[in-house]
Amino acid sequence: MKLFVTGGAGYIGGVVVHQLLAAGHNVTVLDDLSTGHADTVPAGVQLIEASVHDIAEHLPHDTDGVLHFAAKIAAGESVVSPELYWQTNVQGSLALLEAVRNADVPRLVFSSTAAVYGNTDEPMTELSATNPSNPYGASKLAIDMMITGEARAHGLGAVSLRYFNAAGASGPLGERHDPETHLIPIALQAAAGDREKLQLYGDDYDTPDGSCIRDYIHVEDLATAHVLALTATVPGAHKIYNLGTGTGYSNKQVVDVVRTVTGKPLPVEIGPRRDGDAVIVVAAADKAKAELGWRPVKASLEDIISDAWAFYRSFYGA
């Protein structure tokens, strides 16, 4: 297929681009490089440095599918500056949907999130109640609803993949956010001595050890799901799939595994709770397994953190 990838110079988008090429697809990347990195894009792949708001100027009419990653993704930032998430995520996606319609692109795969769901002690299915605890999740839910409308009204075939916590690395491709906001790479920074300490936000939650619980999914497994989703689209339908392992790990368990994998002390400070943080977020991904034939291969937290640590040592010289 001839594919167009927004945000393809980012962490997840970059790994997906590599897997798309390995599957034999022709790929073009659009990324404004505000958080992405040009060196993530493989040699020979066209990189258009532009905003998703301007996608109409760049999307070819013979495109077979669009994969949409371009977005702001920091839940904490979204609580402080929600307008950035309406402008970038919602308005940018509206521009994308209009461009997709005008270019007669038949399929769309969207990078959604588990942050659209509310708090629950049970693994979340695609039918779980949507009640985002922060504007980031709300922006992604709004886009999911926009896609549903576009599919019904104009015949678009679409898939939304609701990730749980993406982590790990794929060889030379890993997390390089600046500033970093994700727990595992921040913990690795602290273990490597590149950060004074790791701050955990709260240890008084109603969980076994008092810290928040998350379902971590390896970035390579996420990428595989995108390749599979391209062939699962149906004209006029919007399918939604959760992507996670079904196993939750607390923040304190992550700290323990980082210490084990790195063999280094990891100084930790317990801070106050952070606005917008859900307590427990764990996936039920049975639908993706049944309909996409998808399975997480690197499902253990040890595998995920080991790959992230290998990338960190290689890239930063730790």
Q: Give the ranges where the chain is alpha helix by DSSP (H).
A: 11-22, 75-80, 82-85, 92-102, 135-154, 183-192, 219-229, 251-262, 286-292, 301-316
> Letter for the amino acid at 187?
A
According to the model, what pLDDT value does residue 278 have? 85
Full-model pTM:
0.95
Catalytic residues: 136
pLDDT of residue 119: 78
Quote the pLDDT of residue 206. Answer: 93
Give me the pLDDT at residue 318, please. Answer: 72
Tokens of 280: 């427990």
According to the model, what pLDDT value does residue 179 have?
Answer: 87
The reported pLDDT for the residue numbered 285 is 97
- Pick the closest to residue 301 from 242, 253, 252, 243 (CA basis): 253
* Per-residue confidence (pLDDT) for residue 70, from 0 to 100: 98
Q: How far apart are the first and last CA of the chain?
A: 40
pLDDT in tens, the chain (318 residues): 999 999 999 999 999 999 999 999 999 999 999 999 999 999 999 999 999 999 999 999 999 999 999 999 998 899 999 999 999 999 999 999 999 999 999 999 999 999 999 777 789 999 999 999 999 999 999 999 999 999 999 999 999 999 999 999 999 999 998 888 899 999 999 999 999 999 999 999 999 999 999 999 999 999 999 999 999 999 999 999 999 999 999 999 999 999 999 999 999 999 999 887 889 999 999 999 999 999 999 999 999 999 999 999 999 987
What is the maximum span of the chain, computed from C-alpha positions, in angstroms? 56
Residue 179, preceding bond cis, omega within 30 degrees?
Answer: yes
CA dihedral 198, 112, 33, 11 (to 10 degrees): 50
Question: What domains are defined for the chain?
Answer: 2-167+216-243 (3.40.50.720), 183-214+246-316 (3.90.25.10)
Complete edge-to-edge strand list for the sheet that includes strand 213-214: 249-250, 213-214, 280-281
- C-alpha dihedral, 191 to 194 to 197 to 199, nearest 10°: -100
- Give the pLDDT score at 277: 84
